[in-house]
Chains A and B, each alone.
Chain A
Amino acid sequence: MTALLDVQGLSKNFDGLQVSADITLALHPGERCALIGPNGAGKTTFVNLVTGVLAPSSGTIRLAGQDVTRLSAQARVRLGLIRSFQVARLFRSMTVREHLELAVLERERKTFRLFASVRRTPGLADEVAGLLDGMGLVPVADTAVGALAYGQQRLLEIALALALKPKLLILDEPAAGVPHSESHRILDALDRLPADLAVLMIEHDMDLVFRFAKRIVVLAQGRLLCSGTAQEITTDPRVREVYLGSRANAPH
């Protein structure tokens, strides 16, 4: 089976400082993968390279066989490479429903309809209702996002990404800022993601990582250190070594 995401020899230098070095990684449809590593390991840079926010110094990125290395971030979104944000980036005065309407309309490229009605766009209301239901956001559908609880904002981030019908979903710390007692709600939502969707999660919360990911990739100092199952990672001496200095993040 061809890989959905195929990253080959990806490197990025900032003024001689190598923040990503020769990263090679493949993700297949339906895969649940987590990317971990100590602070400063280059996780965010890697996400920015894959999503097209940064241009790599060398290497290639293929999405479903197509070389997207030189494509803009927007073009990659349209090919199904979607990310959610570490800090919920939402439109404060818009309602939950309006967020999802906008995302669906963007995906269907209907946003240059100046004289059409959002409410009367065929199929839109049903699709949005489905997304609201999937994330348990029905009760707050008509609430302005500025008035939402933080956990609900995180769920909306995920719903927003799903509204774009991703092939590859990159979740940048989906549970960041959510109280530990509530992170199960995020995990429940992640469990219900479409089965054929490939998901790459960047996360510090190891409970979440171990419960969600079938495969874990460890990044350290911009390099791919190792990749394997939860058990393989926790017993790998190299992983223990890179995490030694930052015990707060240590896998246990």
Chain B
Amino acid sequence: MSGRHTGAVVIDPSPPVAAHEPRFRRALGGAAVPLLAAAGLAAFWLFPNDLGLMTRIAATALYVLSLDLVLGFGGIATLGHAAMFGTGAYAAGIAAVHLVSDPLVLLAVGGLAGGLVALVTGALILHARGLTLLMLTIAVVQIVQEVVNKARDLTGGSDGLSGIEPSPLFGLFRFDMFGRTSYLFALAVLLVGFLVARRIVRSPFGLACRGVKEDPLRVAALGGSPRRYLVTLYAVAGVFAGVAGALTAVTSGIVGLDSVSFSWSAEALVMLVLGGAGRLVGAVIGTVAFMTIHHVMAAIDPFHWMLFIGLFLMGTVLFLPGGIASLADRLIKGNRA
């Protein structure tokens, strides 16, 4: 008897299936990049005093996008995604302090480091699924954090790593004190990352990963190797997370231990669930919503801002299980009815 796979993934926030959804989703996806670019540039003119925050949002959105590849499209439940983000940030930071200063090279260093960590740890832990896998990902991020903490000479330990001074972008655009270059650079990297992620999602590989997410044994019965797909996906997402970490390091000039923490991993998950896992726009929307609420609420009430985030998350999960990004679906379906 072929025991049906019991869908051991703990976190599966994908919206309920509906007929004829993909075509509509595709149309929405086509408008996503121009809309994101327009919104990003509009924010640049509208909020010139918040460029620092907006830069962090853009870099974090790339990080959450990477988590979406892993969780939303591969069904890999993880609470250790900061292992890749932090490794990328530290690798770029250390390289900037000792070796190179070109910002694009630093992003490449971060991406390589993040991808490598994901490839090695993924090959070790991705035979597990569900709760076991969740525990293993937490173990990985804790180990990486401890290694970073112990390597004080390179990383600065708990004091953090500072003195990251990237050279002008393309040798032309200095990273100015107002953060204009930083923001536009981060926005551009996010948009490129979004385009590449979308390409991967729509590729034969992306299709196979979606199959693995739903039923790995069925994919095996089609002749595929579920574990090879997952490890590859994990490594690819590791590159994205590493670039996001490097982008944060380059634009902020510092890297701290919190960038390789369990809580930073969990926050990414919260942002993704808020926005809507399994769709790339969801990652970006969730990040913007979470970090904006965080910023506004922390200014109003520095002691209880987590309460508002918590309430907002509960409201979203209860009333919009597909995340904020599914609002558009509902509106359009409502109009049709």
Main secondary structure of the interface of B (DSSP, over half): helix
Please report the C-alpha to C-alpha distance between residue A230 and residue B225 in the assembled complex, in whole angstroms.
40
**Does the CB pair B2–A102 fall under 8 Å?**
no
Give the distance in Å from the alpha carbon of A48 to the alpha carbon of B1 in the complex: 8
Q: In terms of DSSP, what is the predominant structure of the interface of chain A?
A: loop
Residue from B14, B18, B200, B222 in contact with A103 in the complex, judged by beta carbons closer than 8 Å: B222
Q: Which of B22, B203, B221 has the most CB of A within 10 A?
A: B221
Closest Cβ–Cβ distance, residue A98 to chain B (whole Å): 6
| Contact indicator A92/B223 (Cβ below 8 Å) | no
Question: Do B2 and A53 have beta carbons less than 8 Å apart?
Answer: yes
User: Considering only CB atoms and an 8 Å cut-off, how many residues of chain A contact the other chain?
Assistant: 44
Q: Is the CB of A114 within 8 A of B21?
A: no
A78, A111, A144: most-surrounded residue (chain B CB, <10 A): A111
Q: Which one of B17, B208, B221 lies within 8 Å of A105 (CB-CB)?
A: B208
Closest CB-CB distance, B68 to chain A, in whole Å?
15
Picked from B17, B196, B208, the residue with its CB within 8 Å of the CB of A106 is B208
Kindly state whether residue B210 has any CB partner on chain A within 8 Å.
Answer: yes
Interface residue stretch chosen among A62-70, A80-88, A219-227: A80-88
Are the C-beta atoms of A94 and B208 separated by less than 8 Å? no
Q: Which residues of A contact B222 (CB under 8 A)?
A: 77, 102-103, 106-107, 160, 164
A195: min CB distance to chain B, Å? 24
A118 x B203 contact (CB < 8 A): yes
For residue B219, which residues in chain A have a CB less than 8 angstroms away from its CB? 102, 106
Decide if B204 touches A116 in the complex (CB within 8 Å): yes
Q: Which residue of B lies closest to A85 (CB)?
A: B2
Q: Check A229 for interface membership: any CB of B closer than 8 A.
A: no
Can you list 17 residue pairs at the A/B interface with Cβ under 8 Å?
A: A73-B220, A74-B225, A78-B223, A89-B4, A92-B17, A98-B210, A103-B222, A107-B223, A111-B208, A111-B224, A113-B205, A114-B236, A115-B200, A118-B202, A118-B206, A142-B23, A144-B22
Known: A73-B221, A105-B208, A111-B207. 6 other contacts (CB 8 A): A74-B223, A91-B218, A94-B211, A111-B205, A112-B204, A114-B236
Q: Write the residues of chain B forming the contact surface with A, with a CB cutoff of 8 angstroms.
A: 1-2, 4, 14, 17-23, 196, 199-200, 202-208, 210-211, 214-215, 217-225, 229, 232, 236
Which residues of A are interface residues toward B (Cβ below 8 A)?
Answer: 44, 48, 53, 73-74, 77-78, 83, 85-87, 89-95, 98, 101-103, 105-107, 110-119, 121, 142-147, 160, 164
